[in-house]
Amino acid sequence: MATKIQRLLESNPNMKVAFGSWLSLQGLDEKSQYAYTKSGWLQRLSKGVYKVRGTTPTLFQTIAAYNNQLGKQCVIGAYTALELRGYSHYLSMGKPKAYLYVNSSNRLPQWMMNEEWDMTIKAVTTSFLGDDLKGVETMVIGTDTLLVSSPERAILECLNLSDASSNLLDIYYVMESLTTLRPRLLQYLLEGCTSQKVKRLFLYMAEKANHPWYKSLKTDNIELGSYRQMIVPKGKYIRKYNMTIPTELAEYE
């Protein structure tokens, strides 16, 4: 007769990571979890966190379990989301980075940050686009379902990263490929965006790329503020958007 853990694995054949609170809901209390750890069915990653025997969970598989078993909302965003959707113009050198977005009350646990994964975690805590997850979509990666920023949201996230000012030409290369963005979703995100820098850079790049969807945006409804934005200390001043940007971006054709 199959044991409880065998039945659980048979009903969840793709499971690589299991959280103790979720296992308890499946009928495996702490005593059972300890016993299955001792017998080798489960291997402890941290207190109340296990990997299934014989598996090497990827970061995405772990995030999927974290979201689905614990009801969390960790979102794959920025460059990682664009790469997953085929929009990246280059392949990252070395170990790939995973930009993971969480809110301030839902930070990633320390054990997850410290574990050695197949990707380097870049955890981002911000609410510059609000907390309603507008523009976040489900995406199946392998056998797991994850929360992934739409291209519309992801490009704004790229522009909001702390190192964005030094990577603006790279971001513009990506922008050139974003020919099918949805203006209604963009309008919502831009009107709710609290970063005037992000909004000005996005509109400048969209206009420069001459995408058809740009003409559908109601730019008068997007608040850009009145003070001058020094994106870089020295560069090209763009009067329409009242900001100074890198000369290489302004002169790129």
Residue (of 176, 83, 152) closest to 122 by Cα position: 83
Residue 1's pLDDT band (boundaries 50, 70, 90)? very low
Burial 165-192 (b: 16+ CB within 10 A, else e): bebbebbbebbeebeebebeebbbbbee
Residue (of 218, 199, 206, 129) closest to 174 by Cα position: 206
185-232 per-position pLDDT tens digit: 999 999 999 999 999 999 999 999 999 999 999 999 999 999 999 999
For the chain, domain boundaries? 4-52, 59-250
Residue (of 148, 161, 143, 144) closest to 87 by Cα position: 148
Q: What is the pTM of this model?
A: 0.94
157-185 per-position pLDDT tens digit: 999 999 999 899 999 999 999 999 999 99
The Cα–Cα gap between 124 and 31 comes to 36
Looking at residue 129, its pLDDT comes to 95
Kindly state the percentage of the chain with pLDDT values over 90.
90
Run of H or E including 208: helix 196-209
- For all residues of the chain together, what is the average pLDDT? 94
What is the Cα 11 distance to its own chain's centre?
29
